[in-house]
Structure 1
Amino acid sequence: MHPSRPLHGLSIALAAAALMAITMGSRSSFGLFVAPLNAATGLGLVTISFAVALNQLLWGVAQPFVGLIADRHGSARVIAVGGLGLATGSALLPFVGSAAELVLALALLAFAGAAAGSNGLLLGEVSRRVSAERRGLAVGIVSAGGSAGQLLLGPTSQGMITAAGWQQAMLGLAALALLALPLALMFRESAGRPALSAQESASMPVRDALTSPAFWLVTGGFFVCGFHVSFLISHMPGVIADCGLPASLAGWWIAVVGLCNVIGSLLAGAAIRRGSMRRVLMVLYGLRALGVATFLALPKTEWVMLGFAAWMGLTYMATLPPTVGLVGKLFGLRHMATLVGVVMLVHQIGAFLGVWLGGIVLTVTGSYDWMWHADIALALLAVAIHLPLIERPATQQSAPSSAPATPAAAAAAVLRPAGAG
């Protein structure tokens, strides 16, 4: 970003944060609709869990394609079309009566949501339009926007469901999605982009980045993130009910997660400006494992539930700024929307498994115990797979200066050799 236009960079970040609030807030509150949807349709928890899990997966599948389309035709058009699709899909959902109709409605929501407010699209645009010294904070603001949406829409959706029924609450979310149309104007090409630095212009080609072991280590960590967050958002209302606690607690649980998410996202955005993104991610995943283990050991009271929400909220979307930052730092910004789209696709594969397996495990065993243990194991695995990473651009880590680096050498150079500290 040109130094005379810092407020423009802030306005872009705030517009992206608002879009994230709409899309992520709506997605995060969907778990509140599972029980009333099941009661209204009689489709069963396994069927609904599969449909919701498929929605998570398709949302990820759509993101690389959304990034490519935005690169060719402009992000403003993609966001506007996505907002219309999101409103349409939400408005259709109260009228589904079969498993096929539910799957189709949620598939539309997945593709539209990816276009209106996907991480790859929004964070790619913000990273390109904001100067390097402000980029970490800007990404943190966008991530916090998704958390703020969760904070606001969790109790709001629960209140609307209680007061007017789940159908009216869903129509309210459909109306909210239309706000994406004016927000899309902020992303017009006429708003301008800063010139990329020489280092950022030397981005690794997409094909070479996708063959880099480092790319798949970063992506593997985010797979774990998807498994965690989607299981919690979709199934915590059921966990709360199984513990004999009031149904209204579920809305507040989501709100507390959202509030702490805002704090965690901003702290993570600030932390990556001063320290190692790899270490930030290792700490966050370690804290998740500790949080789940502590939750399992404590009695399930309302205060324990809210404390668990606060703990997990601090780490919830805080993984997004350092993950996106690592992709940009290792592989450059030119193809960031596409590469982050691939990262999000794998994240959503994890989300698919977290939601679907949660329903299967509960149906087969009568409890979520196996899911909690899988959460802990995966979090520890995420800590381990970040150990080999080196945080220098691959274009600076290649072969000796006497010979130009090949793409394969650059891709391999972002891993620590065996025994390195």
Structure 2
Amino acid sequence: MTATTSSTRQDGWRTPFVIILCGCLIGLLSFGPRSVVGMFLMPVSTENGWTRDILSLTIAIQNLMWGVGQPFAGAIADRFGTLKVFWAGALMYGLGLACMVLPLPPLAMHVLSGTLVGLGLAGVSFNLVLACFAKLLPESRRASAMGMGTAASSFGQFVFAPLTPFLIDMLGWKAALLVFSCVPVLIIPLSFALATRPSSGVGQGTGAEMSIAATLKQAFAHPSYIYLVIGFFTCGFQLAFITTHYPTYLRDLNIEAWVAGVALALIGLFNIVGSLSAGWLSARMSKRWLLVWIYFSRGAAVVLLFVFPPSTALALVFAALMGLLWLSTVPPTSGLVALMFGTRYMAMLYGFVFFSHQVGGFLGAWLGGVMYERTGSYEVMWYLSILFCIGSGLINIPIKERPVAQPVAVPAE
């Protein structure tokens, strides 16, 4: 009897519908506040008398610590179950957001808010939700569920993006941040639907008996996994750069302030379509070629910013195009991890792929501020974004879409 079947019989209320619904809500609540942190870049910097690169480094550290924490959070969830990981992540996430309103010196802001938000996200983000979907849902529903979970995270951005400037105007930026710091607590009751037993899931062949160390050794010796890890860097670089600096980029172009909120909302809205489509396509076509197409299309979307003169219309069209491609990389990427290595250590192995994503996120958020202070514009960052898209598209081409051969157990003499 599989772990999923056993779980279903013992917890009859946790139907696939309930699991997907609660997982999607967790994705919405975790990604929403994080996606709008860039809107606080100018208020926090002005309040503290900082240049843009200082808070950009805090946001960059949040991305990096999210990536650093993800494999560990995944390994703990794989080994001991997910509940405590969700609970600890929700509390750290909320506390880290609350720290941003304090009059802290830069180093303290980097250490407290950067570390707490990053590690908190590692425990509650859609990455862990997708791993739960892989463990708890039948294989026939995994790809579509992963698309829905990713889309729900984007819907969080769609909800919080227009809400943020409204709350800042009505309550002030500090009160708005404190409101958002309470949101992660709502994840705790929802997490019961995604509870997994220790070491649940299945591997490929004899992989169910492999240790964590043996699994990691096998994964990092497999070229296709390495290509996947490297390619995912670009996704994080673009996402962090745009969410952190696109609002101020538009402001520098003298585009009205409301456009930034609408643009981020459009990214979230169109990403719902893109993520659901990517989940549907992942079950019906080559996952690696889907990734190649997505990365090349992202680069083409950025080229539009240089072909046409700046305008409100261009800002919104670019946001819509990027939204279609925003998190559409996640279903095929997570699907390839599950295909190659099975689901037993899915959270951990996808966590290492996501670490590459967050290294890119660190550089996207931090270098955006640094390059602006040094050159007075974001032009270099946009060129880097195009270059990385081309590189990631190319590196995904040689990926082999098949289960990794498992070592044959040798009986003890």
TM-score clears 0.5? yes
**1:215–1:191 distance in 2 versus 1, CA, 3 Å:** closer
Query: In the aligned structure 1, how far is the partner of 2:60 from the partner of 2:287?
Result: 29
How far apart are the structure 2 equivalents of 1:395 and 1:24? 36
RMSD over aligned Cα, in angstroms? 2.4
Task: State yes or no: 1:303 paired with 2:303.
Answer: no
**TM-score, structure 2 normalization:** 0.91
Query: What are the superposed Cα offsets for residues 321-353 of structure 1, whole Å, 9 maximum, x if unpaired?
Result: 000011111122111111011111111000011
Residue matched to 1:281: 291
Could you tell me which residue of structure 1 aligns to residue 82 of structure 2?
A: 75
**Deviation by residue 1:202-249 (Cα, 9 ceiling, x = unmatched):** 888222112212111011111110011110110001111011011121
> Any idea what SS the aligned residue of 2:247 has?
helix
Distance in 2 separating the partners of 1:282 and 1:6: 40
- The aligned counterpart of 1:115 is 123
Which residue of 114, 119, 127 corresponds with 1:106?
114
Q: Percent of pairs identical after alignment?
A: 33
125 and 212 in structure 1: CA distance in 2 versus 1, 3 angstrom threshold: same
What corresponds to 2:173 in structure 1?
166
1:72-121 deviations in Å (ceiling 9; x for gaps): 332011101211222222223211331022111221111112112251x2
Distance, in Å, in 2 between the alignment partners of 1:343 and 1:190 is: 23
1:129 and 1:197 map into 2 onto residues whose CA distance is 16
1:201 shift after superposition:
4.4
Which residue of structure 2 aligns with residue 43 of structure 1? 50
Alignment partners' CA distance in 2, 1:405 and 1:74: 27
2:398 matched residue in structure 1: 388
Q: In structure 2, how many angstroms separate the alpha carbons of the residues matched to 1:189 and 1:24?
A: 22
Query: 1:62 Cα deviation (Å)?
Result: 0.5
- The one-character-per-residue Cα deviations of 1:142-183 (angstroms, maximum 9, x if unpaired) are 101110100001111121112211101101101211101111
Matches within 5 A, 1:342-421: 342-395=352-405
Change (3 A) 1:228 1:149: same
CA contact (8 A) 1:128 1:196 kept: no
Aligned mates of 1:267, 1:13 — CA distance in 2 = 17
Structure 1: distance between partners of 2:153 and 2:106: 29
Task: Report the CA distance shift for 1:192/1:227 in structure 2 as closer, same or farther (over 3 A).
Answer: closer
- CA gap of 1:201–1:45, structure 2 versus 1, over 3 A, is same
Pick closer, same or farther for the CA change 1:371–1:197 going to 2, 3 Å: closer
More displaced stretch, 30-39 vs 75-84: 75-84
Any unmatched runs of 5+ in structure 2?
A: none
CA-CA distance at 1:189 after TM superposition: 3.9
CA distance in 1, matches of 2:178, 2:302: 35
Question: 1:226, 1:263 → 2: CA distance?
Answer: 20
Comparing 128-137 and 97-106, the one that deviates more: 97-106
Q: Which amino acid aligns with 1:241?
A: R
What is the CA–CA distance in structure 2 between the aligned matches of 1:405 and 1:75, rounded to whole Å? 29
Q: CA deviation at 1:71?
A: 2.1
Give a deviation string over 1:13-72, Cα, whole Å, max 9, x none. Answer: 221221111121111100000000001111221111111111110110001111121123
Q: Does 1:140 align with 2:147?
A: yes
Per-residue CA deviations over 1:269-323 (Å, capped at 9, x if unaligned) read 0001110001110111111011001122112111111100000000000000000
| Cα separation, partners in 2 of 1:345 and 1:360, compared to 1, 3 Å | same
Separation (CA, whole Å) in 1 of partners of 2:403 and 2:204: 13
Q: Distance in 1 between matches of 2:186 and 2:388?
A: 37
Deviates more, 1:8-17 or 1:141-150: 8-17
Task: Tell me, in whole angstroms, the C-alpha distance in 2 between the residues paired with 1:40 and 1:177.
Answer: 25
Residue 52 of structure 1 is matched in structure 2 by 59
Question: Structure 1, residues 339-385: CA drift from partner, whole Å, max 9, x if none?
Answer: 01111111100001111111111111111111111111110111100
**2:259 counterpart of 1:246:** no
- CA pair 132-202 structure 1, distance change in 2 beyond 3 A: farther
Q: Flag the 1:346–1:191 CA change in 2: closer, same or farther, 3 A.
A: closer
* Shift in Å, 1:6: 11
Contact 1:130 1:194 in 2 (8 A): no
Specify every segment of 5 or more residues in structure 1 that has no aligned partner in the other structure, as ranges.
Answer: 399-403, 407-421
Shift of 1:196: 6.7
The alignment of Structure 1 onto Structure 2 pairs a total of residues equal to: 399
Could you tell me how far 1:191 is from its partner in structure 2? 12
My pick for the range that moved more, 41-50 or 192-201, is: 192-201
Structure 2 residue aligned with 1:181: 188
